[in-house]
Structure 1
Amino acid sequence: MLRTFSRLPLALSVLLLSACATAPRPVSEPGKPAAPVSTPSPAPVPTPSGTAPTPLPLSKPLLPAAWGELPGWSNDPLGEAWPAFQASCRALTRQVVWQPVCEAARGLGERPTATAVRSFMEARLLPWRVVNPDGSREGLVTGYYEPLIKGSRTRSKAYAWPVLGVPDDLLSVDLGEVYPDLKGQRVRGRLVGNKVVPYYSRADVDRLKDKFAGKTILYAEDAVELFFLQVQGSGRVQLPDGGVVRLAYADTNGHPYQSIGRWLADRGELRVEQASMEGIKSWARANPHRLQEMLNANPSYIFFREGPSSNAGPVGALGQPLTEGRSLAVDPRSIPLGAPVFLATTHPNSTQPLQRLMLAQDTGSAIKGGVRGDFYWGFGAEAGALAGRMRQKGEMWVLWPRDQVPR
């Protein structure tokens, strides 16, 4: 069980911690750099009913927009996004601003037409353009997915790589409990004497493997496949008897993510264009004696918990299952978690437009900034191939209840 800030000694020495993270799914593809972090702004006050929302200064992450500005809005088969919108509403109904919208949405039923959804959205919501801190309107859109790897409940020569649950000595400190300006920021560490120090790095976890043996959930067949499962933050494990175990993100050691693809490229082991998932796997097979050295280049380590069996998508930061092709990971300091977001980008490694309604239902430790999104492609190898190739420019609009200003 994690211990919270309130249980730490007063002399907590949090400045000794080396990393600060928001505890979501980690960065979602090898080689993905962290984007600049946007500065949180004071929450504006909703305008009186019936009046137009007051435009926000350019330094704010959201600017008022019009439906005509959304490219491809009239062509999106919005009925496909309705299940994801309903999932968001299950969480958003706790917010007063969303209660009337979500109550009205129930009247459309489970399978409304695209025309009905479009009319509903346009009648009850307004678009707000997402901008970066410098006022620019384009940003990076990447992709992630839910992988399937092979594993076993028992260790053997074939299944030798432990999948770990959360260690008992991992401290998770919510800085917002003491400093409100740091709301949503969290650090991890461990207690040594009366001081909090950084938690063990990936290399330390490997070196001290006996210390963590009691937290093993199961054993993976392939170390690199397990690494990519950690990068995605959740996944499924196929057991020798044909059964499948669902793994969900539980926590992180708090160290910053470092790209092993970049590490290989910087050392001349692979060209930049070769540093894909498949390229990294091929290098690992050809260099088994350097496997742990490569993995340790990323000090971040993800701990899992076993989740309930289900055919639904993995649970995102909103607490709801993700929907293939309609869920988006965002920076919640710029885009309110749970909100509908219209995304205008292109298909992976292509100029073909990809313009559709998404739902902001997840976060990621490298998903930082205003116009910055991570597109959930779904489960399995095909989704993984799409996610691995996606690194596109894009624009975003948050859809928000009329006569209200997004907080």
Structure 2
Amino acid sequence: MCRLGACGLAFALLLLAGCADGPRWERDRLSEALPPFLAGCLALADPGLLAPACAEAARLPPGDETAARAFFIRHFEPSPAGEGLITGYYEPVLRVSPVPAPGFTAPLLGLVEAPDLPRATIEAAVAAGEWPGPVLAWADPVDAFFLQIQGSGRAVFPDGTERRLGYAGKNAQPYVPIGRLLIERGAMTREQVSMQSLRAWLHAAPPAEARALMDANPSWVFFRWRDDLPAAGGPAGTLGVPLTPGRSVAVDRAHVPLGLPVWIATRHPLTGAPMERLVMAQDTGGAIRGAARADLFWGWGEEAGLAAGRMRETGRIWVLRPR
């Protein structure tokens, strides 16, 4: 941790290169992190120790890199969370139907009061017409499965109408990664596992085998329509603000309070190039556990899905805590 007492007067040199064991600020454009930080400030009912930083952030000139660096260094102290797994997620765009139809057989469900049943039981209840909650739409089974993993999406109906789907809650069942199951069965190696490879496996497998693998993950996510969200913005994260592509992360809020800046140092999933940037803790996820764990939001659509699906990188994480 780069405390003033440890770095002395040379702490100001963080503007140029950072401490030996801290964020290298010069590797990123910190001015691009200010808008999502300020959006998070506005969402906090009680900013607490963030209040002085939030007040100053609102007065900073947009796009001023020097001012942004000085701001983050003045108000925050980097605290190392350690080395851990950094993954990615995105907002998928999927075709849906208002009624069951060929190719659209998987239900997207609204929240019910006691969602504690496992996936297979929920699906059986829907198929038997005994599910007590609302069915929002119907989708391809593989699309529906991965929509639940991402937690939000854009639903496109046959007439071209597009509506946003947002996370509403989940059942009380644990999340089981199907990639891990395929590795254990010898069907894939760890290096081969990505969202794209898992989707390809599910589409190529016999329907009953694909269904059995998906049902091995008993977790189920419920949705609600988010027609209040602007089409040009990201989905709403747990903090309540639209997520910013490349600048919002899901964290374990038992270790990282929502609204705090977080520095990640990892590799780009498509190019392998070093990727160091300041992001904002604005979301959570069922598979995000531990202090040194982050899930980077890449945006929406096919290109974002490609990066998010392949991102499974080791990285270092620092939480920027208010001074």
Q: TM-score range by the shorter chain?
A: 0.7 to 0.9
* Structure 2 residue 122 is the aligned partner of structure 1 residue 201: no
Q: For the structure 1 residues 289 and 336, does the alpha-carbon distance in structure 2 shift closer, same or farther, using more than 3 Å as the test?
A: closer
- Structure 2: which amino acid aligns with 1:294? L
* Structure 2 residue 309 is the aligned partner of structure 1 residue 364: no
Match of 2:138 among 219, 240, 243: 219
* Structure 2 residue 20 is the aligned partner of structure 1 residue 75: no
- Structure 2: which amino acid aligns with 1:97? L
* Structure 2 residue 201 is the aligned partner of structure 1 residue 283: yes
* Structure 2 residue 236 is the aligned partner of structure 1 residue 315: yes
Give the 5 Å matches for 1:55-204: 67=14, 68-69=18-19, 70-92=22-44, 94-109=46-61, 111-130=62-81, 137-170=82-115, 199-204=116-121
Which segments of structure 1 move beyond 6 Å, counting only runs of 4 or more? 52-55
The corresponding residue for 1:58 is none
Q: For the structure 1 residues 205 and 112, does the alpha-carbon distance in structure 2 shift closer, same or farther, using more than 3 Å as the test?
A: same
Structure 2 gap segments, 5+ residues each: 7-12
2-structure distance, mates of 1:125, 1:267? 46
The corresponding residue for 1:267 is 185
Offset at residue 169 of structure 1 (A) = 3.6
Contact 2:85 2:292 in 1 (8 A): yes
Match of 2:216 among 292, 297, 304: 297
Q: For the structure 1 residues 268 and 121, does the alpha-carbon distance in structure 2 shift closer, same or farther, using more than 3 Å as the test?
A: closer
* Structure 2 residue 156 is the aligned partner of structure 1 residue 238: yes
Contact 1:93 1:99 in 2 (8 A): no
More off after superposition, 113-122 vs 278-287: 278-287
- Structure 1: which amino acid aligns with 2:235? P
- Structure 1: which amino acid aligns with 2:125? L
Q: Secondary structure at the match of 1:316?
A: coil
Q: For the structure 1 residues 280 and 76, does the alpha-carbon distance in structure 2 shift closer, same or farther, using more than 3 Å as the test?
A: closer
Q: For the structure 1 residues 268 and 129, does the alpha-carbon distance in structure 2 shift closer, same or farther, using more than 3 Å as the test?
A: closer
Q: What is the Cα-based RMSD across aligned positions, in Å?
A: 2.4
1-structure distance, mates of 2:288, 2:201? 27
- Structure number with greater CO (CA < 8 Å, separation at least 6) is 1
Match of 2:313 among 383, 387, 392: 392
Contact 2:262 2:281 in 1 (8 A): yes
Contact 1:93 1:102 in 2 (8 A): no
Structure 1 gap segments, 5+ residues each: 1-51, 56-65, 131-136, 171-198, 403-407
Count of aligned pairs between the two proteins = 307
Contact 2:196 2:306 in 1 (8 A): no
Contact 2:195 2:310 in 1 (8 A): no
